[in-house]
Amino acid sequence: MDTDRIERVREFNRYYTRHLGVLTDRYLGQDRPLGQARLLFEIGAGSDVRELRERLGLDSGYLSRLLRALTDQKLITVRAHPADRRVRIAELTAAGHAERAELDRRSAAGIAELLDRLTDGQRDQLLDAQARIRRLLRTAALTVEPVPAGDPAARDCLHRYAAELATRFPEGYDPATITAADQVDGTTLLAREDGRPAGCGLWIHLAPRIAEIRHLWVAPPARGLGLGRRLLHALEADAAAHGVSIVRLGTHAALTEAIELYRRGGYRQIAGYSDSVYNQLAFEKTLGQSSQSS
Amino acid sequence: MDTDRIERVREFNRYYTRHLGVLTDRYLGQDRPLGQARLLFEIGAGSDVRELRERLGLDSGYLSRLLRALTDQKLITVRAHPADRRVRIAELTAAGHAERAELDRRSAAGIAELLDRLTDGQRDQLLDAQARIRRLLRTAALTVEPVPAGDPAARDCLHRYAAELATRFPEGYDPATITAADQVDGTTLLAREDGRPAGCGLWIHLAPRIAEIRHLWVAPPARGLGLGRRLLHALEADAAAHGVSIVRLGTHAALTEAIELYRRGGYRQIAGYSDSVYNQLAFEKTLGQSSQSS
DNA sequence: CCACTTCTCTGACCTGTGTCAGAGAATTCT
DNA sequence: AGAATTCTCTGACACAGGTCAGAGAAGTGG
């Protein structure tokens, strides 16, 4: 195995957490237990308790006691949800907002002190390297997996896809155009980032050994990570594994990034094969033996 | 202030610690409290208790109980130091070594899983960016400060400097050449990285308004961080602040990096002014108003 | 109306981490 | 030899974090 690289990453982690992680957390948890401090941040403008429990991954008993401690300190107030009085809503008081701002200021002060010791160019280098690492970690966190055609997360992606097209196409977009679940005789792929849906795509048969790729979409926050290309390749590989040798797809002239993606992916433009009004352009690719997922 | 940059660094810290930091620590502390796991690593080939306490920054009572827990699990043995029976020495048993290797393996497995999801080029990008960040953080952690001429840490640096020259000069180096503490009528500067001495340098008067910079040295682990340049500039600034307008220094032909440093720093070579056998080359710089520390 | 579910809170409990004071053994200083 | 110092261990204590079972209030469905 690649032990040298692994060791270097671990070395970095040790160094980084010791120097920066500690730095910021210590500032945060200076007067106040870390749990309470985090909760103050997480409450923000006001959140219901159930949501907080979910976001912070806490036991209901523990969270309840944390909330109690904060109300005793008059930093938050807790009241019942107007619609469902079982649910309770936590909100920051004026003192809570002040405390939160103070914690925020302190945590930022630690970073400011660090940045102060660097030249302007070095600061930019730092930010640049951090952005690159983050991008790579996010890329590694992305998963692409087949899901049943009716999968709720996938359907949700398709609706967001439709909503986006409606704003991008001058003529709008009719949501009824989306392929119905029972119409998918190929495969639906769903991409996730840390469990949250991040993109989708599906293919269906046009004829024996001929497939059509549809509804390839990447959620805005996941763009720029190469996910479109990855989904496209995965769909091709999956279709090939099901005996498909030719893949077609149609797209709209307004979707310039998509067109670029298909061109780079080895697709060539063909005459229109579809009667969908949105498919202004058509593309085709012959799947060879070399088609691989990645 | 530069709130945007600060916010971006904090964002990165949150993301990174959540994704990678957590990852490794969870693997480490899976079956075993983190304190015990860390102790197992720190003991390594065998260490005396006092040293462990220092390295991990633990209370003697707490450490004692951690050691007890590990001995009860037959992972370590503790015996008295042969020379001083108050001091105790902890050593891993065979089982302890196995356990340590297992923890190590698990922690590495988390990283390996991550790296596996990246292409080879992405892996290199990740390592490269991490190395850059680490370099920048270390640079920011370096401090340069004046110390009394007899400061033990500074004297220690000078001895290490002498030891290094002894190996680098074909003719060796006589430690008696080092400027005595009572001979320093200028300033001694000491560089530290996280408290540990990382380099030194000093200047003395050759004549009114003329100073000589001596014994500029950077500890091997701190090289490549621009510390030599920083020490040199700081010495110049300090001398200028004490009314010095001309700085001279002598060096040995074997010290090519130093010679390069002086050339880049605006020094020009002059005829030898010193009778020291090690000063094969001599340099001089006139300090202008623009001389600044940084 | 009744049974069931959902949501929060309370009390009891556990573990890990950390601090403090002092005892006891070994060593060093005078 | 006796006093002072060094080093480790023990016991007592505190607190944060976290888990579990169950009570009680509020809502939902038949």
B203-231: pLDDT as tens digits: 999 999 999 999 999 999 999 999 999 99
Nearest-Cα residue of chain A relative to residue B135: A126
The domain at B142-286 falls in which architecture?
3-Layer(aba) Sandwich (3.40)
Looking at residue A29, its pLDDT comes to: 56
Is any atom of nucleic acid chain C found less than 7 Å from the CB of residue B61?
yes
CA distance B265 to chain A (A): 18
CA distance A213 to chain B (A): 25
Segment B1-26, tens digit of pLDDT: 578 888 888 888 878 877 765 556 55
Contact call for B140 and A134, based on CB within 8 A: no
**Interface with chain A: mutation pick from B38, B124, B132, B230, highest number of A CBs within 10 Å:** B132
Looking at residue A294, its pLDDT comes to: 41
Looking at residue A261, its pLDDT comes to: 97
Segment A56-102, tens digit of pLDDT: 889 999 999 999 999 999 999 999 998 888 899 999 999 999 998 88
Looking at residue A239, its pLDDT comes to: 97
| Confidence class for position B27, pLDDT limits 50, 70, 90 | low
Residues in A closer than 8 angstroms to B122, CB to CB, are 136, 139
For B3-117, give the CATH class: mainly alpha
Looking at residue B32, its pLDDT comes to: 83
The domain at A143-286 falls in which architecture?
3-Layer(aba) Sandwich (3.40)
Residues of chain B within CATH 1.10.10.10 domain(s) are 3-117
Residues of chain A within CATH 3.40.630.30 domain(s) are 143-286
Closest nucleotide to A39, Cα to C1': D17
Residues in A closer than 8 angstroms to B17, CB to CB, are 17, 21
Contact call for A6 and B111, based on CB within 8 A: yes
> pLDDT exceeding 90 applies to what percent of chain B?
64
**Interface with chain A: mutation pick from B55, B106, B126, highest number of A CBs within 10 Å:** B126
pLDDT at B176 over 70: yes
Nearest beta carbon to residue A134 from set B15, B122, B137: B15
Contact call for A133 and B17, based on CB within 8 A: no
Looking at residue B293, its pLDDT comes to: 42
CA distance A21 to chain B (A): 7
Nearest-Cα residue of chain A relative to residue B12: A130
Residues of chain B within CATH 3.40.630.30 domain(s) are 142-286
How many CB contacts within 8 angstroms connect chain A with chain B? 140
> pLDDT exceeding 70 applies to what percent of chain B?
94
Looking at residue A289, its pLDDT comes to: 54
CA of A181 to C1' of D27 (A): 34
CA of B86 to C1' of C24 (A): 11
Looking at residue A293, its pLDDT comes to: 42
Looking at residue A292, its pLDDT comes to: 45
Q: What stretches in chain A show pLDDT beneath 50?
A: 291-294
CA of B67 to C1' of C11 (A): 34
**Interface with chain A: mutation pick from B111, B128, B143, B144, highest number of A CBs within 10 Å:** B111
DSSP per residue over chain A, as a string? --HHHHHHHHHHHHHHIIIIIHHHHHHHTSSS-HHHHHHHHHHTT-EEHHHHHHHHT--HHHHHHHHHHHHHTTSEEEEE-SS-TTSEEEEE-HHHHHHHHHHHHHHHHHHHHHHHTS-HHHHHHHHHHHHHHHHHHHHHHEEEEEE-TT-HHHHHHHHHHHHHHHHHSTT---GGGSPPGGG--SEEEEEEETTEEEEEEEEEEEETTEEEEEEEEE-GGGTTSSHHHHHHHHHHHHHHHTT--EEEEEE-TT-HHHHHHHHHTT-EEE------TT--EEEEEE--TT----
Segment B246-292, tens digit of pLDDT: 999 999 999 999 999 999 999 999 998 887 889 999 999 999 755 44
